[in-house]
């Protein structure tokens, strides 16, 4: 996404924005925003996104600060999270613009908004659309529905991975793990289910570092884990990892950031794990059976073993990372 539909609407005169600051919610790495750093404040809880836009001079915050002439929401793939961002933007008291792909649910959001807001307009272009509406909309119920919530004993948040409860892949990995010891990292820890299981089962673990890029999910992990051995890091797993090197890394890595699968993201996690381990360290990994990780693991580790797992998930143990020049 590059905010191309908004840029088109501005260029053709279909939409005119008031002068002043623009709050931009949830842009993705690589997005080309139609507003420069002198105008826009980027609102994101994603660490890779924050780093990307901060390096380009943007003021980046988790929550908007100050007054704004307009707000732009770039639609994430979670409907509840998208609604929550739109509600937060509407609460700023300025006109709101919403842009997204059809595959990310923009047409459903248009239907949802038609009965809720005044001055609603939209333009369709390039397999998506941009929507805008007047200031003054009350969407407090959407904001409330996007807040962290309890699912059984766990705190989760809409938009986080496996927000409705423990992921079967993480459960399969926990069932396959031996007793772990030393310094451990959970790479892509989410709201902390896997890390909590490791701490409960392995008293010889001295430290467990939860590394997660989604700040909202990491906040939930802090509520779910009270073990003093746990440390929490809001970090991009594809950059140098805080706390490294580790004796063990456990991971249920993501394989998409949009609705489209991207196995390259999972492979990047494997390479990051290899870089962060001690010379005798071990990676324990769970993955969907169709994901082609074995070749990447063989390039990064001396020993690679696939364990039985479940019909849906494979468990892989990779040991002794290869040191590259």
Q: Which CATH superfamily is domain 4-145 in?
A: Vaccinia Virus protein VP39 (3.40.50.150)
Domains 4-145 and 149-321 share a fold: yes
Where do the domains of the chain lie? 4-145, 149-321
Placement of tokens 């002068």 in the chain: 19
Q: Which residues of 116-153 form beta strands (DSSP E)? A: 121-125, 128-133, 149-151
Confidence at residue 116, expressed as pLDDT on a 0 to 100 scale = 93
| Angstrom distance (rounded) from CA 125 to CA 136 | 27
Dihedrals φ, ψ of 94, to 5°?
A: -135, 165
Q: Which residues contact 228 (CB under 8 A, 6 or more apart)?
A: none
| Angstrom distance (rounded) from CA 6 to CA 96 | 12
CATH 3.40.50.970 fits 149-321, yes or no: no
Q: Which residues contact 222 (CB under 8 A, 6 or more apart)?
A: 192, 232
Instruction: Label residue 119 left, alpha or beta by phi (over 0 means left) and psi (-120 to 50 means alpha).
Output: left
State the pTM of this model: 0.92
| Angstrom distance (rounded) from CA 224 to CA 194 | 11
DSSP 8-state code for residue 323: P
Confidence at residue 256, expressed as pLDDT on a 0 to 100 scale = 44
- Sign, CA torsion 221/226/230/235: positive
Task: For the chain, give percent helix, strand, coil, nearest 5.
Answer: 30, 30, 40
Task: Name the strands in the sheet holding 70-74, side by side, starting at the edge strand that comes first in the sequence.
Answer: 59-61, 40-43, 22-25, 70-74, 96-101, 128-133, 121-125
**DSSP 3-state assignment of 78?**
coil
Confidence at residue 173, expressed as pLDDT on a 0 to 100 scale = 97
Crossing angle of the two packed helices 215-224 and 193-201, in degrees rounded to 10: 30
Q: Which residues of the chain form beta strands (DSSP E)? A: 22-25, 40-43, 59-61, 70-74, 96-101, 121-125, 128-133, 149-151, 154-156, 182-187, 205-212, 230-234, 246-251, 277-288, 301-307, 313-321
pLDDT by 10s per residue, the chain, length 325: 456 677 767 767 677 788 899 999 999 999 989 889 999 999 999 999 999 999 999 999 999 999 999 999 999 989 999 999 999 999 999 999 999 999 989 999 999 999 899 889 998 887 889 999 999 999 999 999 999 999 999 999 999 999 999 999 999 999 999 999 999 999 999 999 999 999 999 999 999 999 999 999 999 999 999 999 999 999 998 889 999 999 999 999 876 444 444 557 778 889 899 999 999 999 999 998 888 888 889 999 999 999 988 999 999 999 999 976 4
Distances (CA, A) of 306 to 102, 166, 272: 38, 23, 20
**β-strand 70-74 against 22-25: which pairing, if any?**
parallel
């Amino acid at each position: 996404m590059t905010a191309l539909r908004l840029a088109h609407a501005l260029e053709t005169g279909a939409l005119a924005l008031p002068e002043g600051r623009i709050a931009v919610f949830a842009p993705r790495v690589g997005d080309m925003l139609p507003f420069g750093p002198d105008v826009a404040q980027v609102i994101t809880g994603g660490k890779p996104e924050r780093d990307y836009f901060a390096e380009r001079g943007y003021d980046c915050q988790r929550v908007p600060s100050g007054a704004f002439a307009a707000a732009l929401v770039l639609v994430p793939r979670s409907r509840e999270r998208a609604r929550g961002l739109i509600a937060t933007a509407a609460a700023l008291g300025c006109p709101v613009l919403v842009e997204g792909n059809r595959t990310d649910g923009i047409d459903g959001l248009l239907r949802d908004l038609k009965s809720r807001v005044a001055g609603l307009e939209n333009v369709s272009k390039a397999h998506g659309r941009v929507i805008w509406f007047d200031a003054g909309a009350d969407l407090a119920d959407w904001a409330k529905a996007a807040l962290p919530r309890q699912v059984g004993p766990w705190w989760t948040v809409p938009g986080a991975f496996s927000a409705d409860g423990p992921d079967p892949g993480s459960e399969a990995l926990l069932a396959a793990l031996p007793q772990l010891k030393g310094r451990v990292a959970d790479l892509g820890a989410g709201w902390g289910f896997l890390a909590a299981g490791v701490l409960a089962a392995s008293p010889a673990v001295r430290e467990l570092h939860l590394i997660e890029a989604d700040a909202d999910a990491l906040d939930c992990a802090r509520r779910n884990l009270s073990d003093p051995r746990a440390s929490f890091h809001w970090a991009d797993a594809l950059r140098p990892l805080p706390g490294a090197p580790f004796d063990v890394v456990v991971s249920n890595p993501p394989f998409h950031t949009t609705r489209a699968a991207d196995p390259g993201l999972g492979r990047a996690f494997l390479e990051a794990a290899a870089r962060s381990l001690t010379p005798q360290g071990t990676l324990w990994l769970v993955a969907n059976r169709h994901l082609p990780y074995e070749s990447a693991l063989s390039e990064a580790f001396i020993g690679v073993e696939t364990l039985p797992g479940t019909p849906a998930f494979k468990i892989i143990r990779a040991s002794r990372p290869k040191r590259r020049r």
